[in-house]
Structures are given as structure tokens and as C-alpha cells.
Chains A and B, each alone.
Chain A
């Protein structure tokens, strides 16, 4: 049985089509990533699956329970960490955890093992009010509160937004450990580099899935050769690349520009000659593997000119 399955979900807010034609399946014990920018519809999908709002179209189930008919059962087996900080700021760390345990008719002692790994990191501060915690610790406490009733499915809505790269890595290590315990995880993120840490991902934009697959297959689906291009003047290089008619797309990517060429119209040698002609120095053109962000931009088909 899939942990989550959704079939052609649609949702409107007034005239705004927040989601349309969303289908997905999260296998048991999988980490499934929803990858896309703010406003793409990620939170709406979480709210439907967590039985907080109703879909206008389509059906969905979590652990085999229907999101409409069996909503009460779903709430018992799901742990939900909403995007905005969801804890009680005026309660202490321990009070928050105790509260969430009592809502699910359990106690911290009874289920201590299920949160132990993560809770131990914040336990020295258990008497501090949640409002006075740093960002990284709030995130750990929120995760503990979502885990205290031993859910079989976790919904994590942008748990790493605004979190620095080191803490983000730590957080993903915690998720891998939860996966090993058999917990299925649906997690959303605007950071494309986190996609490779998921078993399967859906790229989402404007309420629609652009593609759903394993990160490896999404990268294989990039349908042109990708070149990394550098020179001593990166800003001029970008505008010169865009002026070349043989260039199909050109985006800044950290220390290099990622470029695709129009088939038959231009090859890497032509490009090198063109850039030398424009007096670029230390030109370096290399064929590279695309990453998920390249794929996202190709699929979203946005031209940046």
C-alpha cells in the first residue's frame, strides 16, 4: 500500500487555480520531495492531504484512508510540520512536547524512543520558552512535536527554508534516519539541491506538476547537451552569450554560466571562436551533467532575457 496517493487533485481559491491535475504516489518508507518556488501550491497540497481543507476535484488517500471520508483516522497516523512555526511561543520546549503528546492521547515518556535522537539535542534547553529558541532549535522541536505520536507518515512543509547550508544538511541526515525506521516522508523545499536526497520528486510550478520521477531520471530527461562556460568577465559573458543566435538558453549558475546550444546551428567550437572574437580571455567551455535546477528551468520554459 502506498503511504500517500493522490489522483487528479484540483483546488481553487475564488478565481485562483491553486492546484490542478495533481497525481502522486509516495511509497512506504520513501522520501518524496515537492520541489518548487513559493506560491507553486505546495502548502495547499499539504493541507488537503492533512485533511485541513477539501479538494474541489480528485481523490486522495493517506495510509489507505480517504482524505474526506476517513479524515479522523488520517489525523492519527500523520505527523504534520507546517511551514510557519507552529509551536506555542509562550510554552517551554518540554511543555510544547507534552502538549502535542496529550493531544494524541499519549505521553512523552511512553513515546520517548521515537523522538530521542532529535530531542536529546534540545533537551538541555527543555525549560526555555519556545519563542526564545534559535531557528535551528525551533525546527528540531517542531519535528519532535510532529513525531511524538509515532506517525507512519510525516508531512514537512518547507522545513529548511531560511536555514543555513550546514543546518540544512543536518536536518536531512535526521530525515534519512527516520526513513530507516520505516516512516514515509512527504517534504517540500524551494532548494533544488535537496532534490537529490529524495527517492522521488515532483517539480511543481503554478499549481501543476512539471514532472514526477526519481531525481536521476529527471536529470536523464534533460533533452540537450549542457555546457558550462566561463571567462574573466562573467557579466559581459552572459550578455554576449544571449546575443549569439546559436545559443538556446543561458543562465548564471554560481561560478559558471550554463548554456544549451541550438542543434545544428552552433557547436562548442563555434562558441569558442565567437567568444574569442569578442576578446573574452580565459574562456573555458566544458560539457557538464545537468542538475535538478537546470531541469526545472528547462521544464518551466521560462526565458530570461
Chain B
């Protein structure tokens, strides 16, 4: 077992042999990796490879069967409440409340994540200005185009300046131009020191990550920078890398 003092300060995620079993089925099999501060880390894998299970453990939502992991310096088994305070989370499926106005959504999440009361109004205006959404402050979220919702959802997920933000397929179905604007928001967040942990099925987006891991059958089959992965596998792009590695999957879909 590793103790807290052994976690290097610049590592925001440290996982050692993290494993999760459901009955006889090993969904996540001895996962070991580290993610540095301000890094954009792509977490790729085929459907059913174990990505969601791993992500749920790192967010403190599901307890591991064995192994250990530290997120923002906290133990995922014993300090889940502390972890929840310093992470942000956004997925394609659920992000904002459709029946609340834009400012109400920001207000709600800011409150949940404990942003000081006196700061909320000012920071809300700053955020809307940065996104160019000032005119939509009073609009219901359901009236916004999908791409705007996703940009707003991301901004809300990092409104409390978390140490790390988990993004689960944030750009699925989004317009190509907006998809690129979304990635620019990711870059800005990373430049401010927020670590970004992202899953995606768009392989061009894998190229935007500092490092990428590819999960196959519950374990990490490869982990490196996109350039190194392409060189190692003599692949012309990340799509090719993904196909070469994911083809090794033996586990039949259950």
C-alpha cells in the first residue's frame, strides 16, 4: 500500500492495480497509471472495455474490489467526499437542468460545489461574457442549441475551479465547428492548471490530448503521447492506432 506522502505533488491521479469485479466478471483489471497537473489525458477504449467503471471509481461513485488510487491527493476508498469537492464532471447524457434558466443552472452548481456566495454573481457575469452568452442569461437551457449547452455545461463543471474535470464523451453529436470551439475551452482550462480527463469516440480528438490511454478488456493496452503511439505502431493516425489495439479484444460482449 502506498501512503499519502508518497504521492508526488504534481500527480493529480495515481492508480495502482485498480481492479473492479462484478461477480466473476473483471470489468477493470489491475489499472495502473498517473496523470499530471494540467495534463489533457485521453481515456479511450471500445464500448464495454471498462472505461465507465474506471471513471466511476475515480470519481468516488463506486468502490474498487482491490488496488488503490488517489485523486487530487485523496484516497478513492476512504475520502470520497473530499474528492467530490475538488472534481468537476460532465457527460453528454446529463449535464444541465433543461427547465432552469442559464443563470439558475450556474447558481445551482456553484452552490452545490461550495463557491462562496459573494463570488457567484460576479463570476457568473464573467463567464457569460467570456462565452458570449450575455443575452442568454435568462433563457431556459432547453431553448439553447446543443453545442451551446455543451459549452455551458463544461464551463459550469469547472466553475468551482476543480483540480480535475472528468468529461465523458462531451462532444458526441456536436456540430464540427462547435466541437472545435469546445476543445479550445478544454485547452484554456488546462492552461489554467485544471487537469482534463476525457473520453471520446472521435479519433481526431485523441490527437489533441497530451497523452492517451487505450483500454482493451479491462486493462490499459497502451499509454503514451499520440505521436509515440503512432510511431510505435507505424500507424498513420490515431484511428489506425485504435483499430490495431482494439482488435486485440478477446472478451466477447457480455
Contact = CB atoms under 8 A, between A and B. Distances in A.
Contact of B246 (A39, A161, A166, A205): A166
A169 interface: yes
A165 B241 CA distance: 11
Interface stretch (A68-76, A104-112, A172-180, A292-300): A292-300
A38 interface: yes
A136 B48 contact: yes
Contacts of A158: 173
B253 interface: yes
B193 interface: no
A39 B47 contact: no
Given A38-B146, A163-B201, A167-B47, A254 B237 contact: yes
B42 interface: no
Contact of A165 (B187, B203, B227): B203
A302 interface: yes
A251 B187 CA distance: 14
A156 to B, nearest CB: 15
A161 B177 contact: no
Interface string B151-192: 000000000000000000100111111101101000100000
A163 B173 contact: no
Contact of A166 (B208, B247, B254): B247
Contacts, number: 92
B253 A136 contact: yes
A190 B92 CA distance: 14
Interface residues on B, range: 35 or more
Nearest to B169: A162
A165 B242 contact: yes
Interface residues of A, number: 34
Nearest to B252: A124
Given A38-B173, A161-B173, A255-B226, 18 more contacts: A38-B146, A39-B145, A134-B254, A135-B47, A136-B47, A162-B172, A163-B201, A165-B242, A165-B243, A166-B247, A169-B243, A190-B174, A252-B183, A255-B207, A293-B176, A297-B177, A300-B177, A304-B181
18 contacts: A37-B146, A37-B147, A37-B175, A39-B145, A39-B146, A136-B47, A158-B173, A161-B173, A165-B201, A166-B242, A167-B47, A168-B201, A251-B180, A254-B206, A254-B237, A293-B176, A302-B175, A304-B180
Interface of B: 45-48, 92, 145-147, 169, 172-178, 180-181, 183, 187, 201-208, 226-227, 237-239, 242-243, 246-247, 249, 253-254
Interchain residue pairs A-B with the least CB separation, the first 9: A254-B204, A37-B175, A38-B173, A254-B207, A302-B177, A164-B46, A255-B207, A190-B173, A134-B253
